[in-house]
Each structure stands twice: as C-alpha cells, then as structure tokens.
Amino acid sequence: MKYISTRNAAHAVTGSEAILMGISPEGGLFVPESFPQLSLSDIESMGEMTYAERSATVMSRYLDEFSFEELLEIANRAYSRFDDEDTCPLTKIDEGMYVLELWHGPTYAFKDLALTVLPQLISACRTKRGEKDKTLVLVATSGDTGKAALEGFKDVPGTEIMVFYPDEGVAYMQKLQMITTGGDNTYVAGIKGNFDDAQTAVKSIFTDDSVRASLREAGYVMSSANSINWGRLLPQIAYYFSSYVDLLTSGEITLGDKINFVVPTGNFGDILAGYYAMRMGLPVGKLVCASNINNVLTDFFNSGEYDATREFHKTISPSMDILISSNLERLIFELCDRDDKALSAMMASLKKDGKYTVPLSLVRSKLGMFAAGYADEDETMETIYNTFDEYGYVVDPHTAVAVAVYNDYYMTSGDTAPSVILSTASPYKFAQDVYEAVGESQESDPFKAVKKLHFLSGMEVPEGIDKLETLEKRFTDVLPRDKIKQKVLARVKGE
C-alpha cells in the first residue's frame, strides 16, 4: 500500500515514510492510494476479538510493512493503558441511541486512542527505515491533543516533543495537564492567539526548507502528532468497526444493517476516520458532523461554501474551536475525484482569501452520507442538564454538542437508524461547566467542582484529574506566534 499527497498525487510514499514525514513537503496530506475492503464476514469475525485485535486487524490492511503480530503488540501495549477492559465501551442510553466512550485512556479524551499508538509506530518506522536522526514532534493543540501527545512521547528514546497551545483558548484542566508533564524530552508553551494561529504557525514550520535544513544539521527530522499525520488517523478507524461489532454481538442490529455516527467535530480527523471506515465497507447510514458555534463545517455541508472569514468564538467546547479544519482537505480530495490540481487551487484560495466554494449539487451527490448541524452555548448547557435528567448520564460539553445535534437531526429527518454518539472527553476535564449545567450553580474552584460533580453524579473521578492539584507547574512560557520557529531551532541546538 502506497500513500499519495493530496496536492501532488504523483508523489507516492510508503506507510512508514508517510508517518515519519507527517505532511508532504508541498503542504499536502498523505492519503492511502486505495481503500482496503473488509467484507461483512470479516466484520462479523471481529466479534470474538479484543479491542486491540480489532485495531490491529484494521491497521494491518494499511501498513503492509508491518506484520499483524507487530501491530497487535503495539495495540496491546497502547490499550493496556486504558482504565476500561473494553477500551471504548458502548452504552445504550435510549432506544436506538448509543454512546461510545472514547475517553478511558491516560489523558481522558479520545485523542488517546491514536496517541498511545502513534509514538510506537514512529519508533518502529524509524527502526524499519534505519533512521539515525532524532524525531522532533511538533504539535499545535486545541487542548486535548497536546496532553495526549506529551504522554505518548514522554521519554520515548530518539524523540523530542514540543507542544504549542493558545494561551487563553484551552480549559483549566487541559492547561494544567500539559504544563505539569514530566519527561526530559518534553516542552510546552502557550502562544498568543487562537488555535488556528497556532496550527498555521506550526504548519508553516513544516514547509520551511531553511528550518528543515537547520534541523538536519542538528541531527533531527520533524514529524507531526496532529491529525494531519496518517499514523494519527489510522488507529481511529478501528473504533467505528468496533462499535458496529459490539452492536452486532449484543443483538441490537443484524449484520449488514446501516448505522449512523454522530461526531463532535473540530479538525475533522475523528469523523474522517468514520468516512474511511465506510469506504472500507462498514455499513454506515449517515455521518452527522456536529459543530459548536464555530460552525464553518455546518455551513459547508449545507451550502458548498467553506468560509473561514468569520468571527472566532471561544466556547465551553474548546477542542472544537477551529475555523480551519485541516482534515477536510482529505475529504475534498475525494470530492474532486482525487484531482490534485483542483484540490491545490481550492487550498490556495483558502490560504489567500480564507474561503473556497464547491457546487452544492456536487456536495449532495458525492458527500450525501454527511449531515451537519451545530449547537450554541445555551443548547450545549441545556443538553448536559437534560441528558443527566432524562438518562442519569453525564456528558462533557463536546459530547453534549453531538447529543444536541443528534436530537435536532432525529426530529427533522425522521431517520430512526441506530445512532452511535461519539463521546470524546471525560466530563471531569470540564468539571466547572458540567457542574454548572447539572448542579445549576457555579463553582469557581475547578477542583471543588470535580468533587461536587462526583457527589451529584456518583461517577468515578479519574485518578489523573485528582492528582493534578498537587503537581509542579514545569512550563510557564507564553510566546508571540512569530517566536515559535526560534524556539524550535534553539531547542534542537540545545540552547
């Protein structure tokens, strides 16, 4: 299996090259040359497997430089760090409505599903390719990727990791999780600006030839732990198959039935993995793209216009506060029938004017499996309250956006297919807002909010959240965004 760049389809690389490079030198994203197929009987046979085995089954279809056993060892090591034996348990909360909990990993957000795997893939790819240089991992984060990547790469030999987060754009617990990280190969800084500013600055470092050259000289190559990296996206495809198989084995559906997935979306990595699962043969009805009031994707699916030139809103679901959704590029590549020239022109227009347009008829005919909606802040808070009130189930604000959009979709479409809502974070990561919604009173101390939420819901508090209160704050830098490059160069030179 080869991988091609969305902006230069003639540039084909192997899976290990795609993972080590992260992004193609001309700025395109690597996509598989074709989608391997899993038949219904392949899917059925996953019923007997553990989550790690299901994951290795999916990954092995894409990474032919690895044996199934190698990938299984990686998946076993990754998912043994999860605090639930099902890795990502599926809970039925109403007739035809299921919640897939993707936050039982070390940092309590869905990013752990991929970021417990990626560092191991990078190490294994380095070995396979005889790479002598160290790998420098650069990350722009809207909150959850940063900590998950730090935990994944901490003290992994041959790697250094630098994480940049928008100083005023992440939740209290998210920031605290990052700046208290241990490890000698880690660095964290806030940047002045929002997530898009951080992501754009980091992406520009990747395509800067002079930086590449300086790094080579210092004995480093760059890679990315953002969802632009194929090694980040790939492990995410597995949980779409796994939740389908769980519905099958519990008798909720029969083999071949189509199901919907409702996905709280920011950078479009999570939901894209669902689209790829569908292209591999998973019976999917709709992929419902749920946004907060930064609803650029809702508008795109409903009008064909992608317009990032709009006011940026800071919300209580910060990991979705994104106006430039990087991974949409991979979907647009499919929409244009893999025409790299057409795609490059659209991305150039996005860079220059902040927008591009696709005929709505094309969106409807090619991307008809997508539905899209959004929830504003009040609806999100109300949904947290209602979900607890009706089902006794606590959701975090990101998941609440998805529940709200699902409710709207269900009411307006009349589509009664079984629907899996992807739950992307533990409510305790956003304890103040969640407590305010369910307890109907404010608590200004985040750790008191955790205790009160626990008292009210009886839901177990993750150990790593409890511990945060007493850990040393190691990283205090806040940089203007034009200083990121300097910081990166200084780090590799050991300054």
Ligand X SMILES: *Cc1c(COP(=O)(O)O)cnc(C)c1O
Q: Is 266 in the site for ligand X (CB under 6 A)?
A: yes
Supply angle C-alpha 488, 489, 491, rounded to 5: 65
Contacts of residue 296, Cβ cutoff 8 Å, sequence gap at least 6: 306, 307, 308, 310, 323, 325
Burial of residue 378 (number of CB atoms within 10 Å: 0-12, 13-18, 19+): exposed
Q: Is 269 in the site for ligand X (CB under 6 A)?
A: yes
Q: Is 270 in the site for ligand X (CB under 6 A)?
A: yes
- If phi over 0 gives left and psi between -120 and 50 gives alpha, with beta otherwise, what is residue 392? left
**Which CB atom, from 265 or from 407, has the smaller least distance to ligand X?**
265
Number of residues that bind ligand X (CB under 6 A): 17
Judged by CB under 6 A, which stretch of 206-214, 264-272, 307-315, 356-364 contacts ligand X? 264-272
Residue among 278, 324, 425, 488 that touches ligand X (CB under 6 A): 425
Give the CA distances from residue 442 to residues 266, 387, 397, 435, 453, in Å, rounded to whole numbers and listed in that order. 27, 19, 16, 7, 11
Contacts of residue 227, Cβ cutoff 8 Å, sequence gap at least 6: 114, 145, 233, 267, 268, 269, 270, 326, 327
Residue among 224, 227, 294, 383 that touches ligand X (CB under 6 A): 227
Residue 367, classed as helix, strand or coil, is: coil
**Which CB atom, from 253 or from 293, has the smaller least distance to ligand X?**
293
Tell me the per-residue interface mask from 305 to 324 with ligand X, x by CB under 6 A, - otherwise.
Answer: --------------xx----
**Which CB atom, from 265 or from 386, has the smaller least distance to ligand X?**
265
Site for ligand X in 145-164 (CB under 6 A): none
Residue 423, classed as helix, strand or coil, is: strand
Residue among 267, 291, 298, 386 that touches ligand X (CB under 6 A): 267
**Which CB atom, from 124 or from 161, has the smaller least distance to ligand X?**
161
Q: How far is the CB of 30 from ligand X (least distance, A)?
A: 17
Q: Are 222 and 212 in contact (CB under 8 A)?
A: yes
Site for ligand X in 383-402 (CB under 6 A): 398
Rounded distance between C-alpha atoms, residue 32 and residue 1, angstroms: 7
Q: Is 111 in the site for ligand X (CB under 6 A)?
A: yes
Q: How far is the CB of 232 from ligand X (least distance, A)?
A: 9
Q: Is 380 in the site for ligand X (CB under 6 A)?
A: no
| Residue 175 Cα to chain centre, angstroms | 18
Residues contributing to the site for ligand X (CB under 6 A): 109-111, 144, 227, 264-270, 319-320, 398, 424-425
